[in-house]
Amino acid sequence: MKLILFDLGDTLEHQDVLLPGAMEVLQTVSNLKDSEGQPVLLALVSDFLMLRQPSDIPRLQQQYYDLLGRLGIDAFFRPLEQFVTLSTEVGVFKPDRLIFQTAIEKAHADLAFSDVLFVTENREHVQAVRTLGMHAVHFKGPGQQQGDIDHLLDLVPVINELFGLRTGRPMSRLSRSVHIGVRTIPSDAEQARIDPTEKLGASWVRLGDRVLMFAQDIQWQARVVEPARAAPGFVELAMSTQRQNLHLVTQKGRWFQQEHPEVPVLLDSNRYLVVDIQPGDVEGMRSSHGICYSIEPLQDGQIVFARRARNLARQAGQARVHAVLDKLSREGYEPLINYLVAFPTRFSTSSHFKAAATWAREQLSRHYMTHNQVVSVGSEHSENIIADKKGTAGVDRDVIIVCAHLDSINQLGGADSSAPGADDNASGSAGVLHMAEALAAHAGKHDVRFILFGGEEQGLHGSRQYVSQLPVSERSRIKAVINMDMIGCQNAPTHGVLLEGHRLSRRLIDVLALAAETYTELEIETSLFPHDSDHVSFIDEGIPALLTIEGADQNNPRVHTDHDTLNHINYDLILDILRMNTAAVVQLLE
């Protein structure tokens, strides 16, 4: 008897969407038989939310099972209690031997490590399980450049060769050639899902009020173009490409387009682009400027971001929230951002950053317990500034984190180049300090923690090292993380904010959106595609986090240059975003 053990995140799915070929692979592997005619077993092993007490296990398991149901793959792993193993129940993360041993023993008592093939996008986990005697395949997951297999559809021949198995149905490669069109949908369309495939027979990805559709050559004219003539807002692009060439770019400013003007942009929504790049060329396009942009394969059915319709029946809000919001003002905020922008640069390892960090800690120390955390940035060092205030709930306190990165950078020069970083990210850092002042006298049930990170511009060093050094018990206390990065530039006719998180962050996004509706006039956009800022470090460890960033009809083109100055700052927008964030924190603390 043989067992095929799958990882889930970035192996079978990405951002709540099945990866291409995942369903076909599971269907085919479920029909495989060993040399004795016994069905091959399928199982999942995943790192998931850690618990505080054993009674939490059923609830967290059910959250994971619900995800499998939404993906439509739960039937392949039934009974779920036998063929799904989570770090939640075992108490350790992969690649610890115990989690794999538990998964194998649950699947079948007679299985040995040598009877198991583990499939994952994590190269380190592949190497680790091979030392246990298991077989392993490294799948080239989203954003990766190499692997043992490039596509999930290539897995079955590997399994057949490894175990000498028989399959009941052939595996065909996906057709790669597609035609492309764009459809504009009503701005007030439902937020959860717009599916043009139902009527137009195309794969799709949605960016705001526009949907990029693509279908194979043989389907395009009959199933898309002709029906689309009756659908308003459809434009057929005069091109076709290979399916694997479609990629999603997330950028700061216009850095990707500035560095690669030769790349065809199929759909431009400022922070997000759909582009046409051959997979082999992606590695050479990695940003030479830190994390100015990211490139990953485009997945079918993605809602990259959506505009959220406001509830016209606006609530009056709560008096205790208004009491805190009344402490936010331009007079209180402006001196803070002015002080930070006055430094020639706040490059993470510079003396100027050290001086800015020392000053920021002095501001926080007036009302909070503070400390510094040393951060490694290559062979040099930066630091995080951390400020805490305990809540009133005794031993059952959670933690609410408000954070921003303190450093700035000029990508066109060196470490000593002028980098005022007014929008990116003196705006967010001053916001942390101003929120801390406004909340200083507020007594909430839970702890509040303010963090200013160093090393963000070089690769999220401050936040990644902060999270990695937290004990498991302390990680489990973090209820929400609100990250502010670039909240100071108005790039659209109206004040807007993007709430960018992950499926873990859905409840938190709802809390922030409701706060925006109740206490501000902000236009809300939401996205479950986290990139390029410190919220990602928390999300990667299963902690609910989101980014609040200025909305954009046009991106701020001055970030990471010496032109990111105070004369482009919009204080009314900043205060609206701070009001939203502060109102949400007050409610979360209670």
Least confident range of 39-43, 51-55, 102-106, 140-144: 51-55
d(CA 184, CA 235): 9
Q: Is residue 193 over pLDDT 50?
A: no
**Closest C-alpha among 300, 196, 320 to residue 246:** 300
d(CA 139, CA 142): 9
Percent of the chain with pLDDT over 70: 88
Q: Give all domains of the chain, ordered by start, each with its CATH number.
A: 3-163 (3.40.50.1000), 177-305 (no CATH), 320-458+477-503+510-529+543-589 (3.40.630.10)
Q: Is residue 108 over pLDDT 60?
A: yes
**Closest C-alpha among 70, 107, 113 to residue 95:** 113
The helix (H) or strand (E) run that includes residue 341 is helix 330-341
Q: What tens digit of pLDDT does each residue of 265-286 get?
A: 988 888 899 999 988 888 778 6
pLDDT at residue 438, rounded to an integer: 97
Taking residues 362-378, report their average pLDDT. Answer: 96
Q: Chain-wide mean pLDDT for the chain?
A: 86
Q: What tens digit of pLDDT does each residue of 317-338 get?
A: 888 999 999 999 999 999 999 9
Which residue's entry shows tokens 């790039």? 491
d(CA 574, CA 497): 10
> How far is the first Cα of the chain from the last one, in angstroms, to the nearest whole number?
53
Q: What tens digit of pLDDT does each residue of 377-405 get?
A: 999 999 999 999 999 988 789 999 999 99
d(CA 587, CA 317): 11
3-state SS track over 453-495? ECCCCCCCHHHHHHHHCCCHHHHCCEEEEEEECCCCCCECCCC
**What are the CA-CA distances from residue 83 to residues 43, 79, 426 (Å)?**
5, 6, 49
